[in-house]
Amino acid sequence: MNEEEQVLIHCLYFTANRFARNMTKLAESTFDFGDLAPSYLYMIMTVKFHPGITQKELCHKLSIAPSTSTRFIDKLEKQKLVVRKSSGKETFISLTEDGEKVYTQFRISLKELFEEYSAVLGKESSMELSKMLHEASNKLERDK
């Protein structure tokens, strides 16, 4: 192994981004939701699990900036997948009937995605890698 390969292999930043790009390609080919990128689908899922979630809570759960959440919610609202209700300074987000349908389809696609990458990585390795990445992300976020 040459020096360049050693540097790249041992650089978590490079390796994680390379992995993320590969997973994004796989997810985009598995999820067929028109112009909704996978990020929007995870927002729909989070709203499904937490009906009436505040925008602030949604940002926290998805680790996204308020400006990003506003853009996402605007698009989902325009497509009639979520509704916003304001009360004072807080905004509450819930799924519409169409949003519920997209959520159901997304859960099926998530299973397909898991089967696809597990066929390559192995089921146990896939579950362990996901758990490790989740825990590492939590630690890095707490350290900020």
Interatomic CA distance for residues 62 and 69, integer angstroms: 9
Three-class secondary structure assignment of 94-120: EECHHHHHHHHHHHHHHHHHHHHHHHH
The residue assigned the tokens 């909704």 is 36
Q: What domains are defined for the chain?
A: 3-143 (1.10.10.10)
pLDDT tens by residue, 72-100: 999 999 999 999 998 888 889 999 999 99
Is the entire prediction scored with pTM above 0.75?
A: yes
Task: Name the pLDDT band for 37 (thresholds 50, 70, 90).
Answer: confident
Find the mean pLDDT for residues 21-28. Answer: 92
